[in-house]
Amino acid sequence: MSNPVPEVPAVRLQGIGKRFPGVIANDNINIDVMRGTIHAIVGENGAGKSTLMKILYGVQRPDSGTIEVDGTQVSMGSPADAIKAGVGMVFQHFQLADNLTVLENVVLGAEKLHGIGGRARQRIVEISDSYSLGVEPDELVEDLGVGARQRVEILKVLYRGARTIILDEPTAVLVPQEVDELFGNLRGLKDEGLAVIFISHKLDEVLSVADEITVIRRGTTVTTVTDPSSVTARDLAELMVGSELPQASSEASTVTDEVLLSVQSLSLPGSGARPLLDDLSFDIHRGEILGIAGVEGNGQAELVEAIMGMRERATGTIRLIDTDLSSASTRQRRESGIGYIPEDRHRHGLLLDSPLWENRVLGHQGRPPSVKRGIVDKRAARQDTLRIIDEYDVRTPGPGVLARALSGGNQQKLIVGREMSGDPILLIAAHPTRGVDVGAQAAIWNHIKTARREGLAVLLISADLDELIGLSDRIEVILRGRFVGSFDPSDVTPQQLGSAMTGAGATA
Amino acid sequence: MSTRLVSFLLGLLAAVLALVAAFAITSLVLIIAGDPVGEVWGEILTFPEQRNLANIINNATVLYLSGLAVAVAFKMNLFNIGVDGQYRIAAFVAAVVAGEAWLPGYLNTALAILAAVLVGAAWAGIAGLLRATRGVSEVISTIMLNFISTSVVAYFLRKAAVREEGSNTLGTREIPEGSRIPSFSIGDGPGTEIYGFIFIAAAAGFAYWFVLNKTRFGFNLRATGQSTTAAVASGISVKRMTIGAMLISGGVAGLVGLPILFGDSYSYGSTFQSGLGFAGIAIALLGRNHPIGIALGALLFAFLDEQSNPLQILVGVSPDIVAITQGVIVLTVVISYELVRRFGVRLEQQQVAKADRPVDEPKEVTA
C-alpha cells in the first residue's frame, strides 16, 4: 500500500455549498482531514453536519466546491463511488440484518471482494485482530449488544477497504462504558494510519478523543481547533451557538409532600416470558421532576404508554390526585390533567400534513377553547395557536402552516406549548429535547422547570444523562422493566448511572 | 398572494394538468388504433343539448352520492370498495319498503330512505366491525360483501318480486305515485327532467363538509386517517372511529340508488343499474375527497359517458374510449396532485425558512 506524503490531507473539502428549497444547508465549508488523526466535526442540530457527511459519502452532490481524497479530486455520485475512493461511513442507525450472522452482514453487497466463505471469514478475523475489534464472524447479530453491533459496522467499512471512516453521532446509542471502548477502537484505527471523521455534539467526548476539531455553525465552518487541549467544552459550545449557552442545572427544590401521581404495581406482560414492565410502583409529588434513566428498550416507552392508557394489557393502579385512572381511556386520562410530550413527535405528537392550529386541537378535542359542544372552533383554535407561537417562540409565518414545514425544534416547542395548555397536573416528557437545536433545547428545559415551579408533577424520560441529572429531583434507573436503583441527582455521575443502566453496578 | 388563493390555484392547476395529460393519452390510443382523433373529440366536446344535459345532471347526482360514500372512508384511510354492494342491497330494501306502502305519501318515502341508509350502513358496518375487532382488511371484506350482496338481492328479489304480464324481468312492487319524488324540468320537451333527489344529494354534500370540517367527530376521523399513532396518543379510540366511518360511508352508499328508484324506475328489478360504486372510487380520487371537487368529478364522468353515446353511430368509434379516458384520469390525477403537493410543500418551507431566520442574520443573496 502506498504511503501518502503526510502533507497531503486524506480528505480535503473546499468551498462546499449545498442548498435545499428555502434552506442553505452548507455554505463555503473548508476542512482538511489528515491521515492518522481523529477529526471531530461539531455543530448544533441543523448546523449542516449531516448534509456535509452525505456529500462526502456520495449520497448528495454539492452545488459548489470540490472534494479531494489523498490529493486527487473526486466526484462522488453514489456511496459506491465513495467506497471506491476509500471513504466509508458508519451510520447512527445501524444497517444490519438481525437474523444474519456477522459474516453474512459483512459480506452482504461486497461478495466480490473475498467471496462469502472461508476467505471472507479469514479476512474478517484479520481485520478484527489488527484493530482489536473483537468481532466473531459466526455470531448472530441479534445476539449482539449495541457496542458490538457498532464494531461490526466499523468492520464492514474496513472490509470494503476504507481508509477514511466517517462516524455519525456514534456515541448517541452508547452508555459511558461503551463510549470508552469505542474511543479505544478509534485510537487503534488512527494508529494504523486511517483518518477518522467523528461527528458529534457531545463536546466532552469530542475533547477527549479528537486531534482536531472543526466547528460548524449555520452551514459554514467557523473555525478548526488544531490543539484540543487549548479549549474547553464551553469554548466549543459558544463557537457552535455563537452566543451564551444554556445549562440544564436545576433550581432550588420545589418538591412538596403532596402526591399528585401515584402508580402502584404497574405491570405489562410481554410477548415472551419476560414482562415489559414488572411491578413498578412510584409517586410523583407536586413540584417534583422524576427522571427515568435507562438504556433504550428497557421499558421506558411502555411505562409512558401504560400511564397514558395506550397499553390495554397493563395492570396495576394509577391515581392522579383523587381520581383512579387505572381503567380510564387515554382521552379521560388526558382530560383529567395529563400533558404528554411523546418520544416520537412525528408518530405520536403531530399531524404532519395538517396546519398548526389543527395540531393545537389534537389531544384537546374534548376541551375549550378549541372545541365547544362537539364543534371545532377554528377561530379560537387559531387564536390559541398564536398564543403558543408567541409564548413558546415557535418560528413560523403563522398558524395555517403545515406542521411538516417546521423544523424539529419548532415542532417540539409547539407540542410543549400545547401540552401545557389546559392546566395539566402531570406532564410526561419523553425525550423532550431529542433532535432539537441548542436554542430550542434551552427553551424546552426552561418550560419544564417552569412547569415544576408552578406545581406540576413531571415524569421525565431521557437518554441524555446530563439532561436527567440537570433537571430531575430524583432519578430511577429502569432495566428490563424494573426499577434497579434510585439516585439523587445532586451527587450522581453519568458513570454511576451508566453502570446501573447496564446492570453492572446496581445498588442493592 | 394569500395562502388560500395560492392553494386554490395549485389545486386548479393540478386538475387541469391531469385532464390535459389524460386527453393526450387517450388521443394517443386513438391514433394507434387509427381512429379519427379530431372527430372523436369534436363529438365529445360539443355543448350538450337540453336532453343530454338533463341526463348528465341526473347521472352526476347518482355518481356524486357514490363519490361521497367512498370519500368518507378515504378520509379515514379506509378503502370502501363495497359501495357497489351496499347501494344495491339498500336500494332493494328501499324499493320493497316503498312498494309495500305501509305509510301514506311522503312518510312512506321517508321511511324507505331511512331503511336504505340503515341497510347500507349495516352492510358496510360488517366490514368495519371485522376491521376493528379482528383486523380484517376492509378491502377484502367489502369485495366479498359485494358478491354476497348480489346473491342476497337475487334471492330475495324472487320472493318479493311481482312479474309483469308477458315480461321476463323481475321487479319489486311499484312505488305508489304519492310516494315518488317529483322531478323538475330544465327545458321543454320530454326527457329534460331532473331528479328531485338532487336536493337531497346536495344536502348530503353539505352535511359531509360540515361533519368532517366543523365537528369534533370529523376532526377525529381526519386525524385518525392521517396518523393512527398520533390519534391514539391524543385519546381517540381508533376502533370506534373505524366502525363509525364505515357506518357513515355505508349510510351514504345507501342513498346512491335512490335517485333512480324514486325518480325513474320506481321499482327494483334485475336490470337495476350496477357498477356505480366503482365509479365512485374514481370520482372521490378525482375530487380529492372535497365536496365541490367530487361534484365536479361526477359531472365530468357523467358528461363523458353521455357524450360518448353517439360515437359509434356518428364516427364509428366505440364509446368505450371514454372508459379509457376515465381510467387514465384517475392515474394522471394521482400523479399530478402529488407533483403539485410537493411543489406546495416547497413553497411553504421557503416561507417557514424565512420566518426561522433571525433578523440579525446577513441576508442571503439568491442566485
CATH of the domain at A472: 3.40.50.300
Checking ipTM against 0.90, whether it exceeds it is no
Contacts of A371 in chain B (CB under 8 A): 216, 219
Residue A300 is assigned to a structural domain of this protein: yes
**340-369 in chain A: CB under 8 A from chain B:** 340, 342, 344, 347-354, 358, 361-363, 365-366
Whole-number Å distance between alpha carbons of B246 and B131: 10
Split into its structural domains, chain A has a count of: 2
Same domain? A299 vs A211: no
Mutation choice for B interface testing from A330, A335, A357 by most B CBs within 10 A: A330
Higher pLDDT, B116 or A492: B116
Q: What is the DSSP string of B27-40?
A: HHHHHHHT--HHHH
Chain A residues 112-171 with a CB less than 8 Å from chain B: none
A369: cis peptide before it, omega within 30°? yes
CA distance A69 to B324: 55
pLDDT at residue A508, as a whole number: 38
Contact A22 B354 (CB under 8 A): yes
Q: What is the pLDDT of residue B172?
A: 87
Cβ separation B352–A406 shorter than 8 A: yes
Statement to judge: residues A131 and A61 lie in one domain: yes
What per-residue confidence (pLDDT) applies to A308? Answer: 94
C-alpha cell at position B48: 350538450
Look at residue A157 and tell me if it is in a domain: yes
Residue A491 has what DSSP assignment?
G
Residue A249 or residue A142, greater confidence? A142
Q: How confident is the model at residue B357 (pLDDT cuts 50, 70, 90)?
A: low
Question: Domain range spanning residue A142?
Answer: 11-241
A169 and A268 within one domain: no
Q: What is the dihedral of CA A393, A394, A397, A402, to 10 degrees?
A: -170
Of B216, B219, B352, the CB nearest to A397: B352
Residues 309-328 of A with CB under 8 A from B: 310
Which range (A48-62, A299-313, B133-147) has the least confidence? A48-62
Between the CA of residue B119 and those of B147, B163, B247, what are the distances in Å? 16, 25, 10
| Residues with Cβ within 8 Å of residue A124, at least 6 apart in sequence | A102, A103, A106, A135, A137, A155, A159
All residues of chain B having their beta carbon less than 8 Å from the beta carbon of residue A408 are: none
C-alpha cell at A381: 383554535
Query: A221 with A73: CB under 8 angstroms?
Result: no
With beta carbons under 8 A apart, name residues in chain A contacting B355: 395-397
Q: Which three cell numbers stand for residue A88?
A: 466509508
Number of A–B residue contacts, CB under 8 Å: 113
A277 assigned to some structural domain: yes
Q: How far is A345 from chain B (nearest CA, A)?
A: 9
Optimal mutation site among A305, A334, A340, A351, interface B, most CBs of chain B within 10 A: A351
Q: Mean pLDDT over all residues of chain B?
A: 88
Residue with cell 438504556: A295
Alpha-carbon gap, residue A462 to A414, rounded angstroms: 19
Can you point out the beta strands (E) in A299-358?
A: 315-320, 323-324, 338-341
Q: Which residues contact A454 (CB under 8 A, 6 or more apart)?
A: none
- The rounded distance, in Å, linking the Cα atoms of B85 and B269 is 15
The answer to whether residue A6 sits within a structural domain is no
Flag if A354 and B226 touch (Cβ within 8 Å): yes
Q: By CB neighbour count within 10 A (0-12 exposed, 13-18 middle, 19+ buried), where does B366 fall?
A: exposed
Residue A276 shares a structural domain with residue A235: no
- Residue A20 confidence (pLDDT) above 80: no
Starting at the edge strand that comes first in sequence, how are the strands of the sheet with A72-74 ordered? A23-33, A11-20, A64-69, A72-74
Query: Do B201 and B65 touch, CB atoms closer than 8 A?
Result: yes
Residue B361 pLDDT grade (very low, low, confident, very high; cuts 50, 70, 90): very low
Per-residue model confidence (pLDDT) at position B363: 38
Chain B residues with beta carbon closer than 8 angstroms to that of A332? 235
A224 and A282 in a single domain? The answer is: no
Query: How many Å apart are CA A152 and CA A150, to the nearest integer?
Result: 5
Q: Is residue A254 part of a domain?
A: no
**Residue of B228, B240, B348, B360 to mutate, testing the A interface (most A Cβ within 10 Å of its Cβ):** B348
Q: Which residues of A390-404 are buried (b: 16+ CB within 10 A; e: fewer)?
A: eebebbbbbbbbbbb
State how far the Cα of A321 lies from the Cα of A311, in Å rounded to an integer.
Answer: 21
Of A241, A268, A303, which one is at a domain's C-terminal end? A241
Nearest CB to A310; choose among B214, B233, B346 = B233
**Does A371 contact B350 at a Cβ distance shorter than 8 Å?**
no
CA–CA distance, B87 with B79 (Å, rounded to integer): 16
Of A241, A276, A308, the residue at which a domain comes to its end is A241
For A482, the enclosing helix (H) or strand (E) is strand A482-487
Q: Do A201 and A296 fall within a single domain? A: no
Whether the CB-CB separation of A319 and A389 falls below 8 Å is answered with: no
Q: Please give the residue of chain B at the shortest CA–CA distance from A352.
A: B226
**Set of cell numbers at residue A82:** 465513495
CA A256 to chain centre: 32
Mind spelling out the 3-state secondary structure of A350-415?
CCCCCEHHHHHHCCCCCCCCCEECCEECHHHHHHHHHHHHHHCCCCCCCCCCEHHHCCHHHHHHHH
| Candidate from A238-242, A258-262, B230-234 with smallest mean pLDDT | A238-242
CA distance A162 to A195: 9
A272 and A189 fall within a common domain? no
Residue B241 C-alpha, separation from nearest chain A C-alpha, in angstroms = 14
Q: What's phi and psi for B334, nearest 5 deg? A: -60, -45
Cα B286 to Cα B294: distance, rounded to the nearest angstrom: 7
Once rounded to an integer, what is the mean pLDDT over residues B288-295?
Answer: 92
Burial class (CB in 10 A: 0-12, 13-18, 19+), B342: exposed
Residue A417's pLDDT is 94
Q: How confident is the model at residue A142 (pLDDT cuts 50, 70, 90)?
A: confident
| B222 near A CB under 8 A | yes
Distance from the Cα of B277 to chain A's closest Cα (Å) equals 28
One domain for residues A77 and A217: yes
The rounded distance, in Å, linking the Cα atoms of A475 and A468 is 7
Q: Which residues of A touch B218 (CB under 8 A)?
A: 376
Contact state of B216 with A400 under an 8 Å Cβ cutoff = no
A333, A365, A401 member nearest B219 (Cβ): A365
Share of chain A above pLDDT 70, in %: 94
Residue A252 lies in a domain: no
Is the backbone of residue A14 left (phi > 0), alpha (psi -120 to 50) or beta? beta
Between A121-130, A167-176, B268-277, the lowest mean confidence (pLDDT) is in: A167-176
Q: What does the pLDDT read at residue A286?
A: 92
Q: Which residues contact A88 (CB under 8 A, 6 or more apart)?
A: A82, A156, A157, A158, A160, A162, A164, A165, A166
The distance of B174 to chain A (nearest Cα, Å) reads 42
Residue A74 lies in a domain: yes
**A275 and A194 housed in the same domain:** no
* Count of all residues that appear for chain B in the document: 367
Q: Looking at the structure, tell me whether residues A187 and A265 fall in a common domain.
A: no
Q: Are residues A313 and A195 in the same domain?
A: no
> To 10 degrees, what angle do helices B83-100 and B276-286 make?
120
Residue B191, C-alpha cell as written in the block: 326527457
Task: Indicate the residue among A241, A272, A289 that finishes a domain.
Answer: A241
Place of cell 373529440: B41
Statement to judge: residues A52 and A110 lie in one domain: yes
The DSSP 8-state label assigned to residue A287 in this structure reads T
How does pLDDT run across B84-132, given as a tens digit for each residue?
Answer: 999 999 999 999 999 988 999 899 999 999 999 999 999 999 999 999 9
Residue B350 touches partner A, C-beta closer than 8 Å: yes
**Chain B residue with minimum CA distance to A366:** B216
Taking an 8 Å cut-off on Cβ atoms, the answer to whether B353 and A22 are in contact is yes
Round to whole Å and give the CA distance between B308 and A31. 67
Contact B215 A375 (CB under 8 A): yes
Contact flag A330-B235 (C-beta cutoff 8 Å):
yes
Q: How many CB atoms are closer than 10 A to CB B270?
A: 13
- In angstroms, the separation between the Cα of residue B136 and the nearest Cα of chain A is 20
Q: How confident is the model at residue A22 (pLDDT cuts 50, 70, 90)?
A: very low
> Is residue A266 classed as helix, strand or coil in its secondary structure?
strand
The residues near B151 (Cβ < 8 Å, ≥ 6 apart) are none
Is the model's pLDDT at A6 over the cut of 60? Answer: no
Q: Answer whether B214 touches A (CB < 8 Å).
A: yes
Strands (E) across B62-172 are located at 162-163, 170-171
Q: In sequence order, which ranges of A143-246 are alpha helices (DSSP H)?
A: 146-159, 176-191, 203-209, 233-241
> What percentage of chain A has pLDDT greater than the value 90?
29
Residue A135 has phi, psi (to 5 degrees) of -100, 130
Q: Which residue has the higher pLDDT, A459 or A238?
A: A459
How confident is the model over A362-415, as pLDDT tens digits?
Answer: 999 888 888 888 899 999 999 999 999 999 988 888 898 888 878 778 899 999
The pLDDT tens digits for A199-255 are 887 777 888 889 999 988 777 888 888 888 888 877 777 777 665 545 556 567 778
In the sheet that holds A457-461, the strands lie side by side as A338-341, A426-430, A457-461, A289-293, A474-479, A482-487
